[in-house]
């Protein structure tokens, strides 16, 4: 832990209950739940060591989203957690990780009977065309060519007050669900990541590409990808074996790499 690392107050009863339900989580993983923290990603980025850790927060006061956005979470309305894992891989081998996470989460929600789930490249979790959740992955590279990834997940369980997030969000439930539902959904998503990680470490994104493309919100549609001052328009062909987005631009196939890119339906 760094000198100024945030101290979080652990709710061990909730963590034990979560672990009992999340059967796929290996015994060696450390599972923690705290009532509140600034950002589960920030807390885990400050931790040291090679242990794989999962940290859930019931409330997040300074949560961070992609592209510098805020991601707040109020108790009961949100499922907010991060997973810290060290891969024996260089950072460039993790380019498709966020898409693999998205595909695993989508499968887990569908398996629980959630309808209308889709993925928007690179990793927005969508429901009925509106944003249901997001993934923020932050990397650090300890010595020896390894890469530590902090994989942050935010999922709307119930709608937040209007204007709380830049996009009109979707939610799993019309009202804040109770503790049991929070535990059920949390365990299902943590289990999905626990099953996905070893496969990703061994084979990268390729085994998940078919599942990701199954959920692709923009499959076959005319889209514009914009980022870093550039724009590319074409027909969305889906995610490639490494997570790059393939576009048919007037018969020429272009690949857009993961990064600071947004995808919009073409006018
Ligand atoms: C996005 O903008 O789509 C990504 C949102 C990711 C939010 C999650 S909530 C848990 C973790 N902690 C953070 O501060 N951010 C991520």
Between 15 and 234, name the one with better pLDDT: 15
Percent of the chain with pLDDT over 70: 91
Cα 73 from chain centroid? 15
What is the pLDDT, as a whole number, of residue 266?
A: 47
Closest CA to 32 of 77, 86, 81, 76: 81
Q: In this model, does residue 56 exceed pLDDT 70?
A: yes
- CA terminus-to-terminus distance, the chain: 49
70-79, 159-168, 250-259, range with greatest mean pLDDT: 70-79
* Residue 62 DSSP one-character state: S
CA of 261 to the centre of ligand 1 (A): 17
Tell me which of 43, 57, 65 to substitute to probe ligand 1's pocket, judged by most ligand atoms within 8 Å of the beta carbon. 65
CA of 249 to the centre of ligand 1 (A): 32
CA of 36 to the centre of ligand 1 (A): 15
Q: In this model, does residue 166 exceed pLDDT 70?
A: no
Tell me which of 134, 150, 193 to substitute to probe ligand 1's pocket, judged by most ligand atoms within 8 Å of the beta carbon. 134
What is the pLDDT, as a whole number, of residue 258?
A: 53
pTM reported for the whole predicted model: 0.93
96 lines ligand 1 (CB under 6 A): no
Between 17 and 162, name the one with better pLDDT: 17
CA torsion sign for 112, 195, 136, 38 is: positive
pLDDT digits (tens, 9 = 90+) for 188-208: 999 999 999 999 999 999 999
Rounded (10°) angle between helices 12-21 and 179-203: 60
Nearest CA to ligand 1 atom 15: 64
What is the pLDDT, as a whole number, of residue 85?
A: 97
Peptide bond into 122 cis (omega under 30): yes
> What whole-number distance in Å separates Cα of residue 9 and Cα of residue 118?
35
What is the pLDDT, as a whole number, of residue 260?
A: 42
- Across the range 83-112, mean pLDDT stands at 96
C-alpha gyration radius of the chain: 18
**Contact (Cβ atoms closer than 8 angstroms) between residue 1 and residue 46:** yes
Atom of ligand 1 nearest to the CA of 69: 2
Closest CA to 140 of 45, 2, 238: 45
What is the pLDDT, as a whole number, of residue 262?
A: 52
How high does pLDDT run on average in the chain? 90
Residue 263: pLDDT band with limits 50, 70, 90: low
């Amino acid at each position: 832990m760094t000198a100024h690392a945030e101290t979080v107050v652990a709710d061990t009863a909730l963590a034990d209950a979560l672990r009992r339900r999340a059967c796929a989580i290996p015994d060696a993983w450390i599972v923690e739940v705290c009532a509140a923290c600034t950002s589960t990603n920030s807390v885990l980025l400050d931790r040291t060591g090679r242990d794989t850790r999962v940290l859930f927060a019931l409330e997040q006061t300074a949560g961070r989203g992609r592209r510098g956005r805020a991601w707040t979470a109020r108790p009961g309305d949100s499922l907010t957690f991060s997973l810290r894992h060290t891969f024996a891989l260089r950072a460039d081998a993790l380019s498709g990780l966020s898409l693999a996470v998205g595909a695993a989460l989508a499968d887990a929600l569908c398996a629980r009977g959630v309808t209308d789930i889709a993925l928007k490249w690179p990793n927005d979790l969508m429901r009925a065309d509106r944003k249901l959740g997001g993934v923020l992955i932050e990397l650090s590279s300890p010595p020896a060519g390894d890469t530590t990834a902090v994989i942050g997940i935010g999922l709307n369980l119930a709608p937040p007050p209007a204007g709380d997030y830049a996009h009109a969000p979707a939610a799993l439930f019309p009202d804040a669900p109770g503790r049991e539902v929070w535990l059920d959904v949390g365990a299902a998503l943590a289990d999905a990541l626990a099953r996905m990680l070893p496969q990703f470490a061994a084979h990268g994104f390729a085994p998940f590409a078919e599942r990701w493309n199954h959920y692709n919100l923009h499959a076959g549609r005319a889209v514009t990808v914009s980022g870093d001052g550039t724009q590319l328009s074409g027909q969305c062909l889906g995610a490639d074996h490494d997570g790059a987005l393939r576009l048919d631009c007037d018969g020429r196939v272009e690949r857009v790499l993961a990064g600071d890119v947004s995808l919009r339906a073409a006018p």
